[in-house]
Amino acid sequence: MQLTRRNAILMGAGAILMTGLPLRASAAGEDAIAAFTGGAEVGEGDIKLTAPEIAENGNTVPIEVSSDSAAEILVLALGNPTPAVATFKFGPLAASRSASTRIRLAGTQDVVAIAKLEDGSFVKASTTVKVTIGGCGG
C-alpha cells in the first residue's frame, strides 16, 4: 500500500479507535499516579517490582516491591476496575524498603510500582503479567 495522505489519515483513525478503550481504562490509573506524585516527574531508577510473567489465577498473584531509599511505595494494577492496589509506608524500624503481598488482577495487564524516595523524587517500575483466569469477579 502506498502511503498517501488519505491512507495515513485512515490509519491514524484506526489507531485511535483501537486504543480508545484502553485509554479510558488507564485514565483512572493516571489520576492515581498524579494524586500520589502531585504531578511531579516520575523517573526510572532505584525500584524493583517482582511479579510472575504468567499468573494462572488472577485471584492471588504474588508480588514484591523493593527500593533502597523509598519512603513510600504505591502499587497500581492499571487494568483493574479500580487501579489502586496498596501503598506501603516505611517507618524508622523497617529494615529494608521492601514488602511482599498477594494481589488480584482482572486480566492480563501492567502492574506498576511508584516509589517516593527520601529526597522527594519519584521512580517507577512496571511489569506485564499475563493472567489466564481473571480475579475481580464481574
Partner 1 sequence: MAEGVKPRVKVPKTASAGEVIVIKTLISHKMESGQRKDGDGNVIPRSIINRFTCDFNGENVVDVTLEPAISTNPYLEFEATVPASGEFKFTWYDDDGSVYEEIKKIAVE
User: Shortest distance, CB of residue 67 to partner 1, whole angstroms?
Assistant: 13
Say whether residue 29 binds partner 1 (CB under 8 A): no
Residue 114: CA atoms inside 13 Å, Cβ hemisphere, count?
Answer: 24
Q: What grid cell was written down for 43?
A: 523517573
| Residue 74 and residue 39 in contact, taking contact as beta carbons nearer than 8 Å | no
User: Shortest distance, CB of residue 110 to partner 1, whole angstroms?
Assistant: 13
Chosen residue from 51, 70, 85, 113 binding partner 1 by CB under 8 A: 85
Chosen residue from 47, 51, 77, 125 binding partner 1 by CB under 8 A: 77
Round to the nearest angstrom and report the end-to-end CA distance of the chain: 43
| Residue 125 and residue 63 in contact, taking contact as beta carbons nearer than 8 Å | no
- If you search the block for the grid coordinates 476496575, which residue do you land on? 81
Binding part of the chain for partner 1, among 6-14, 15-23, 56-64, 123-131 by CB under 8 A, reads 56-64
Looking at beta carbons only, is 101 or 121 nearer to partner 1?
101
Q: How far from the centroid of its chain's Cα atoms is residue 2's Cα? A: 38
Binding residues for partner 1 (CB under 8 A)? 59-61, 77, 80-96, 98-105, 135-138
